[in-house]
Chain A
Amino acid sequence: MTNALSLCSVSKSFGGFKALDSVDFSVAPGEVHALLGENGAGKSTLMNIACGLYAPDEGHVELEGRAVTIAGARDAAAKGIGMVHQHFKLVPAFTVLENILLFNPGRAPAEIAREALALADRMGFEIDLDARVGTLGVSEQQRLEILKVLVAGARIIILDEPTAVLGEDDGRALMALVRGLADSGSAVILVTHKLHEALYHSDRITVMRQGRRIAETLPAEMDPGRLTTLIVGEHIVEEPEPSPHVGGARIRLNQVRLAGDGGRKGLVDVSFEVKDGEIYGIAGVSGNGQNELAEVLMGLGLPTGGSIEIAGHGDVTGAGPAHRRQNGLACIPVDRYRHGLAGSIGVADNFAVNGALAGRYGSWLWFNRRKARAEARAAIETFDVQGVRSLGQKAALLSGGNAQKLVIAREFQGAPQVVLAHSPSRGLDVRAGAAVHERLRAARDRGAAVILISEDLDEILLLSDRIGVLAGGRLVAEFKAPANRSEIGAAMVTHD
């Protein structure tokens, strides 16, 4: 059978950095081909070449066995290649139909509408063409993205980490949809971090590492362990390590309340304390008060009742972020590009903000850039932040794992006494996630009180010395490590 799309010995460099090194990749009609690899392994670059955003330095692209040049995204669409990006390319203020029209200019709306409905029907979902996209849920938006490229006549469909934004049920439904696409004759490329998607929902698996294709294999020949080893190039197994020494209470929340508004649950009488040298895990199903608790701890939202105390600094209930951070609080926020880093300014300037506010680099009238840069360089070394080509490089250009390491490097400067880590390994590959965990353990072992909020129960069980369960904005249960997984799971779905 002729491959629908082949990338033949493709290489690509960015300013001396070899992102792709002679990579071969192909996908056939009716096939789901999973593409795995760590952040920065070259998956995105490879797919950007497939959909015409980048031109290869060496090698070429073949469609149905014929060498072609793809001149940009529109040309790719005209040649039947459809890319569904991780971050949707939709106009929220437009209706579903208008968004489809925008992607298929020059065709009659009535014809598009007919075709879209027929395609949706064949794929087995319903869609309201007149609904505003802004009012749709994430999974509906994703279906719209897929529909959009199908209407454009895509026969090769690239899905970039499609389930990263979906919940478990929606993720399963999407995998069924993906299979349906392949059964109807499309060639599907599934870029993913999730091993089980590759193992159970694909026909072929390609693993990339450091710009090279490491393996092309079949799901039947793989298991999660072997796949992980292929992806990271070494055997990474994390084991729980109990705290070496637990001290006195460092931070204490007392009946903390936060009024909910709209769909938000708020917090109801949340009380717990975290001791020096201890990781306190907060487990719970997403949307049960985790974001609110993080905001209250960071000082971004003021509680409507109760109190927060930090030992040695007294009551900080009404204090803003600046005051709390001066008193030994460090935060690894859940959205590192929103709360953690300023993307359009340099790596060193992102690192320096804590020190600058604390007066390390001079008074209000003087900013000692030289010192800030020297310290940034040292911290980047210490915390193993990779991919920093210059200290002035924009932070947005760092991969997820390295961006997170940069946040940690900054937050751990000055040995904080209290660390808040909110889903610190979300979106990171296995190796980067393990490195983050190592940092949290190290902070604990030197005596910091660590609060770990995570929706990933495995992460909670792996790291925590004690575990609190958040459900409906209440702290419904507490467990000591080693804790029973199913008991925690039962507490997570408690209804009052």
Chain B
Amino acid sequence: MTSASPAAPAAKTRLRLVPLLEPRQSVAEGLRIGIYVGSLLLAVLVSVLLLAGAGVPPGDLGREIMTTAFSSPRALGSVLAQTAPLVVAGLATAIAFRANFWNIGLEGQMILGAIFASYVAIHDIGPESARLLLMAVAAALGGMIWVAGPGLLKIRLGVNEVITTLLLNYVAFNLLLHLLYGPWKDPVSAFPHTEQYEAFEKLPQLGWQNLTWALPLSGLLALALWWAYSFSRLGYLVDLMRSNATMARAVGVPVLGLSVASILGSGAVGGLTGFAIAAGIEGRMTQDFFVGYLFSGVLIAFLGRNHPLGVVVVAFFMAVLMLLGQSLQVFFGVPSALVQLIQAVFIICVAASEFFLTYRMHWRSAA
């Protein structure tokens, strides 16, 4: 898009304003932030209007947000409990995106992570004291294995990873169904989920509300990645590679190693996302524990600009939105799709705001 709207048929009015678009030479940091915040505000406005149209008056909406998220320690606890897996999901996606690997297979990697962790739990592998750690390691391994195929195909043959990672989600889902309706069906209730994990196979409680160690651990992971990307040579080289991989290779940056590490790292954190939900929230592997995290992960990474701390902030608001959606569903009969619609509004607004980073618009009166 390099052109403005065409000049209207020559109406002989004195004051006719035409928009002129100019490519920007550079963008000041303040303006960049201003445009980003502006696009978020627009998204909020559109969302409020959408909800008003669906029968939620703006006043009630405000009250509902307060009740859902901030009115009581209990409400805040639920939001934070939901935040933890979203942080991990966002980080998993951001790690890949930062290395130009469009990993759209988070849900498949989550499923494999949960399957590997459940295997350790069901077969009582290792001593009880080390069981949880073994489950986490297994989950990371499972996620890595699931992303390794698409990574290899991309690096060796240039196969588009969007397609391979996406399709492997369905393979993983069918594998999950096979296990849950077959060998791993709960022997106690005969429902299609695994048996309850033992107490020592679940993430320990923090002792405040129903929060587990998932929250501080996900925070630590975000901090570690923040360090890696902002203050280490590793992160500097990854950003260089993202900007121009051909140049990076020519000047001796270990492009292959950094790509492999990023891809496998993304898969490992994806596997840990599955583990965080299975061992942190559900206490077992269910057949739908992963639903919606793929889209949320992409959204969180995108809105957080692939920045680990940005991911944490966006994940928190995403958790509020998810819980808000549930209560609006119950109290106002709003369809559940509306939550996804609001998420999409945010993506569209932020993505569209890129236009104003590329172009400057000013109005001129036409002669």
- Name A's B-contacting residues (CB within 8 A): 14-15, 52-55, 60, 67-69, 71-75, 78, 298, 300, 320-326, 331, 333, 338-345, 349, 352-354, 356-357, 361-367, 369, 389, 393-394, 397
Instruction: Check B233–A362 contact: CB distance below 8 A.
Output: yes
Q: How far is the CA of A72 from the CA of B20 in the complex (A)?
A: 6
Binds A, one of B35-43, B128-136, B137-145, B235-243: B235-243
B362 and chain A: residue at smallest CB distance: A55
Instruction: Check B4–A353 contact: CB distance below 8 A.
Output: no
User: By DSSP majority rule, is chain B's interface helix, strand, loop, or mixed?
Assistant: mixed
For B231, B362, B365, which residue has the most chain A Cβ atoms within 10 angstroms?
B231
Instruction: Check B7–A78 contact: CB distance below 8 A.
Output: yes
Q: How far is the CA of A353 from the CA of B227 in the complex (A)?
A: 19
Binds A, one of B22-30, B194-202, B292-300, B346-354: B22-30
20 A-B pairs whose Cβ atoms sit less than 8 Å apart in the complex: A53-B23, A69-B20, A71-B364, A71-B366, A72-B5, A72-B6, A73-B2, A75-B6, A324-B252, A325-B252, A333-B250, A343-B244, A353-B237, A353-B253, A354-B251, A356-B237, A357-B251, A357-B252, A364-B234, A367-B236
How big is the B interface, by class? 35 or more
B254 within 8 A of A: yes
| Selected contact of B253 from candidates A53, A333, A357, A361, CB within 8 Å | A357
A361 proximity list for chain B (CB < 8 A): 233
Q: How far is the CA of A325 from the CA of B5 in the complex (A)?
A: 51
B247 within 8 A of A: yes
A14 proximity list for chain B (CB < 8 A): 25
| Selected contact of A325 from candidates B20, B237, B251, B366, CB within 8 Å | B251
Distance in angstroms from A46 CB to nearest chain B CB is 14
B171 within 8 A of A: no
A362 proximity list for chain B (CB < 8 A): 233
B232 within 8 A of A: yes
B2 proximity list for chain A (CB < 8 A): 53, 72-73
Instruction: Check A344–B243 contact: CB distance below 8 A.
Output: yes
B337 within 8 A of A: no
Q: How far is the CA of A213 from the CA of B23 in the complex (A)?
A: 24
Q: Which residues of B220-267 are within 8 A (CB) of A?
A: 227, 231-237, 239-240, 243-244, 246-254
Instruction: Check A72–B21 contact: CB distance below 8 A.
Output: yes
Instruction: Check B246–A364 contact: CB distance below 8 A.
Output: no
- 5 smallest beta-carbon distances between A and B, as pairs: A322-B252, A342-B243, A72-B4, A74-B3, A342-B244
Given contacts A55-B364, A60-B367, A75-B6, 9 further A-B pairs with CB under 8 A are A15-B25, A54-B23, A71-B6, A300-B249, A300-B250, A340-B247, A349-B236, A362-B233, A389-B26
Distance in angstroms from A362 CB to nearest chain B CB is 6
B233 proximity list for chain A (CB < 8 A): 356, 361-367
A389 proximity list for chain B (CB < 8 A): 26
Instruction: Check A397–B25 contact: CB distance below 8 A.
Output: yes
Instruction: Check A331–B250 contact: CB distance below 8 A.
Output: yes
B77 within 8 A of A: no
Instruction: Check A342–B252 contact: CB distance below 8 A.
Output: no
Instruction: Check B232–A68 contact: CB distance below 8 A.
Output: no
Given A67-B367, A74-B3, A361-B233, A345-B240 contact (CB < 8 Å): yes
Distance in angstroms from B193 CB to nearest chain A CB is 42
Instruction: Check B240–A349 contact: CB distance below 8 A.
Output: yes
B253 proximity list for chain A (CB < 8 A): 322, 353, 357
Distance in angstroms from A107 CB to nearest chain B CB is 14
B219 within 8 A of A: no
Instruction: Check B25–A75 contact: CB distance below 8 A.
Output: no
| Selected contact of A322 from candidates B23, B236, B246, B254, CB within 8 Å | B254
Given A69-B366, A325-B251, A393-B26, A342-B7 contact (CB < 8 Å): no
Given A75-B4, A361-B233, A321-B251 contact (CB < 8 Å): yes
B18 within 8 A of A: yes
Q: How far is the CA of A14 from the CA of B248 in the complex (A)?
A: 31
Instruction: Check B244–A74 contact: CB distance below 8 A.
Output: no
Instruction: Check A53–B18 contact: CB distance below 8 A.
Output: no
A72 proximity list for chain B (CB < 8 A): 2-6, 20-21
Instruction: Check B249–A364 contact: CB distance below 8 A.
Output: no
